[in-house]
Amino acid sequence: MVSRVLLDTAIDQFGRFGFEGASTREIAKLSSTAMSSITYHFGGKEGLYLAAADHIAECVSAIQGPALAAARTAGEASREAAAQALLLVLDSFAQMMIRPESEPWARFIMREQQFPTEAFERLYEGMMKSVMETFLTLAARARPDLADQDVRAMSILLFGQAMILRAGLASVCRVLGTDQIDEPASALLRARLRANALCILSEKP
């Protein structure tokens, strides 16, 4: 059985140093795993890298899956219901970005966003596709006046407001004058994110 500690360590090391810079020997050492185990289970470094991507997708899907399913059902009722459901999805995503465990995932994912490999395809198919398809469906219902490409652009930029909470963490904390996103800062940021999104989604056709 593959150790979750091994996969979490691999995600951290690949995220910090990239595929080329990370060492499977160091990953094995940090996770108290025999090198032979990595070879046996994954066939080597590339296999471990892809397994790390699959592990991230599984973790994110486990967190976001219930919220996505509930949003898809709730959003079918009306335009207003779709907007409210979309806000819940956005807030769920923002909360995940603020959680400490998302830090190594984000580093790994951001590398794949900039220099995509087969791992990006696994990340997209394993988690991003479901999130984006749900978001796009709800956004289209909430803003029926917009053309398809406008809905897609709007959705990307709305998501960007949540992603900055992790991708731009140092700047977020500097601007807010805090060392970290604590509970008051989290509440403030999520409230403003909701208000921003609601303004965009509530524009009349």
Domains of the chain: 53-201 (1.10.357.10)
Q: How far apart are CA 136 and CA 156, in angstroms?
A: 9
- List, in order, residues 6 or more apart from 93 with CB less than 8 Å away: 64, 131, 159, 162
CA 65, 49, 160, 188: dihedral to nearest 10 degrees? 70
What CA–CA distances, in Å, run from 159 to 8, 102, 103? 25, 16, 17
Token pair in block for residue 26: 């160091």
Phi, psi of 117 (to 5 degrees): -130, -165
Instruction: Using the structure block, give the residue that is written with the tokens 């219930």.
Output: 66
The per-residue pLDDT string of the chain (205 residues; one tens digit each, 9 = 90 and over) reads: 568 999 999 999 999 999 999 999 999 999 999 999 999 999 999 999 999 999 999 999 999 998 899 998 988 889 999 999 999 999 999 999 999 999 999 999 999 999 999 999 999 999 999 999 999 999 999 999 999 999 999 999 999 999 999 999 999 999 999 999 999 999 999 999 999 999 999 876 5
